[in-house]
């Protein structure tokens, strides 16, 4: 089961993504399936610049609450950036990558994590 701290991180990251107009923000509780993390947060953007902007905002917000990423991958291309915070892993994908890789299908058996009411997610 997802920890309260991981849920707090998911909510903070989701709010940050929402503030930068991320699309299709969704979070999965993967704690029963994986031992390496409690949750995945997925979101997407229509262009590389917005992907980077969302990533930067998520990192800034989580840094404000005292959390640093263990690693960040995919930044150079700006198509799919993964930010690993141990308890949660954030995937910020270009819309085309999101459709192609369809991570939601891989994790559809995992429970969704309810996001705060102030997280708005524009749809494709």
Structural domains counted in the chain: 1
| d(C-alpha 7, C-alpha 57), whole Å | 18
Give residue 124's pLDDT: 42
- The answer as to whether 124 is a domain residue is no
Q: Is 112 part of any domain?
A: no
Looking at residue 76, its pLDDT comes to 75
pLDDT tens for the chain, residues 1 to 124: 899 999 999 999 999 999 999 999 999 999 999 999 999 999 999 999 999 999 999 999 999 999 999 999 997 778 999 999 999 999 999 999 999 999 999 999 999 999 999 998 655 4
Residue 91 falls within a domain, yes or no?
yes
CATH code for the domain of 70:
3.30.460.10
pLDDT for res 3: 95
Alpha-carbon dihedral sign for residues 45, 50, 56, 62: negative
Residue among 26, 32, 36 nearest 92 (CA): 26
Q: Which two tokens stand for residue 10?
A: 């998911």
The pLDDT, as a whole number, for residue 123 is 53
| Structural domain includes residue 29 | yes
Please check whether residue 27 is in contact with residue 10, taking contact to mean a CB–CB distance below 8 angstroms: yes
Q: What is the largest CA-CA distance in the chain?
A: 35
pLDDT of residue 122: 58
Residue at 122 is within a domain: no
DSSP, collapsed to helix, strand or coil, labels residue 43 as strand
Residue 57 lies in a domain: yes
Is 115 a domain residue?
Answer: no
Provide the residue range defining the domain that includes 68.
4-106
> For residue 114, what pLDDT is reported?
95
pTM of the model: 0.94
Residue 90 lies in a domain: yes
């Amino acid at each position: 089961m997802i920890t309260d701290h991981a849920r707090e991180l998911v909510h903070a990251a989701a709010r940050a993504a929402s503030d930068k107009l991320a699309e299709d923000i969704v979070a999965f509780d993967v704690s029963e399936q994986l031992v390496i993390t409690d949750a995945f947060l997925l979101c997407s953007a229509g262009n590389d610049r917005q992907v980077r902007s969302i990533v930067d905002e998520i990192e800034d917000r989580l840094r404000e609450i005292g959390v640093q990423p263990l690693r960040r991958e995919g930044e150079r291309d700006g198509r799919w950036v993964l930010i690993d915070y141990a308890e949660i892993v954030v995937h910020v994908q270009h819309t085309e990558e999101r459709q192609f890789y369809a991570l939601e299908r891989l994790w559809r058996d995992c429970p969704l994590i309810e996001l705060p009411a102030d997280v708005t997610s524009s749809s494709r």
